[in-house]
Amino acid sequence: MRAPVDGRIGRALVTPGNFVSGIPAANTMLTTIVSVDPMYVIADVDEVSMLNLRRLLAEHALALDEQGRVRVEVGLTDEVGFPHVGAVESLGNRLDEGTGTILLRAVGPNADQKLVPGLFARVRVPSTATKKTPLVPERAIGTDQSQKFVLVLGEGDTVQYRAVKLGPAVDGKRVVREGLQAGEKIVVNGLQRVRPGTKVAPHAESEASAASAAR
């Protein structure tokens, strides 16, 4: 006997020697099987997010996969961030009038079978146009009351105070939405020992040393 799909089989509901029936509407269930790769994730998307997603698609402002689908990110309850990547497979044809949401189904690879059918998952759907933006280490970000800031090296390696608007975390770093331009040098170490207006002797930090310091 062969199953029509690949997947993970459950416990045997019938043991050898028992009578089974194959009559329609009265057949005997032998076991269950679930498909695990690829895995589908279902989420309710609110009306505003749905309209924003459709607008960005019409403007060709989103990053798409090789099949032309919108990329989404998925995270489980015990995971930090959204380490799993998938794509929008389908979007419902109408909003639920009671909740003001529409059903979205995403699909993604699950070769390691970490995603298990029935798990609760968090889904992040893109809400802004794809664009290049600076990423800075968390330890380079300071807090001044309710204001976030970084210290930038200006002309002559003079330290400058720069208020920034932050975005989400990506691979241990933070997106800077406003206040910092690509290519500018920032102070990463010794943030508490330098002050705006002072001159410093900077030393470039490699990716390896930054990763080691972050641990």
Q: What is the pLDDT of residues 30-89, one digit of tens each?
A: 888 888 888 899 999 899 988 988 888 888 888 788 888 888 889 888 888 888 999 999
Q: What confidence score (pLDDT) does residue 212 get?
A: 46
Is residue 18 included in any domain, yes or no?
no
pLDDT tens sequence across 104-150: 999 999 888 888 888 898 988 887 777 778 888 888 888 888 888 88
> For residues 105 and 121, is the Cβ–Cβ distance under 8 A?
no
Give the residue from 73, 90, 124 where a domain finishes: 124
CATH assignment of the domain containing 86: 2.40.30.170
166 confidence band (pLDDT: 50, 70, 90): confident
Tell me which residue of 95, 136, 118 sits closest to 10, measured CA to CA. Answer: 118
Give the domain range for residue 108.
Answer: 39-124
Does residue 44 lie within any of the structural domains?
A: yes
Judge if 208 and 140 occupy the same domain: yes
Q: Are residues 43 and 85 in the same domain?
A: yes
Specify whether 120 is located in the same domain as 152.
Answer: no
Q: Which helix (H) or strand (E) holds 178?
A: strand 173-178
**Residue at a domain's end among 124, 158, 184:** 124
Q: What is the per-residue pLDDT for 213?
A: 46
100 and 49 share one domain: yes
Is 155 exposed, middle or buried (CB count within 10 Å of its CB: 0-12, 13-18, 19+)?
exposed
Secondary structure in 3-state letters for 11-48: CCCCCCCCCCCCCCCCCCCCCCEECCCCEEEEEEEEHH
- Asked whether the beta carbons of 106 and 43 are under 8 A apart, the reply is yes
In a domain, 25, yes or no: no
pTM, two decimals, is: 0.59
Residue 26 belongs to a domain: no
Task: Say if residues 31 and 20 touch (Cβ distance below 8 Å).
Answer: no
User: Taking a C-beta distance cutoff of 8 angstroms, is the pair 71, 87 a contact?
Assistant: yes
Domain count, the chain: 2
Indicate whether 9 belongs to any domain.
no
**The pLDDT of residue 170 is above 80:** no
CA distance 199 to 153: 9
Asked which of 78, 95, 124 is the last residue of a domain, the reply is 124
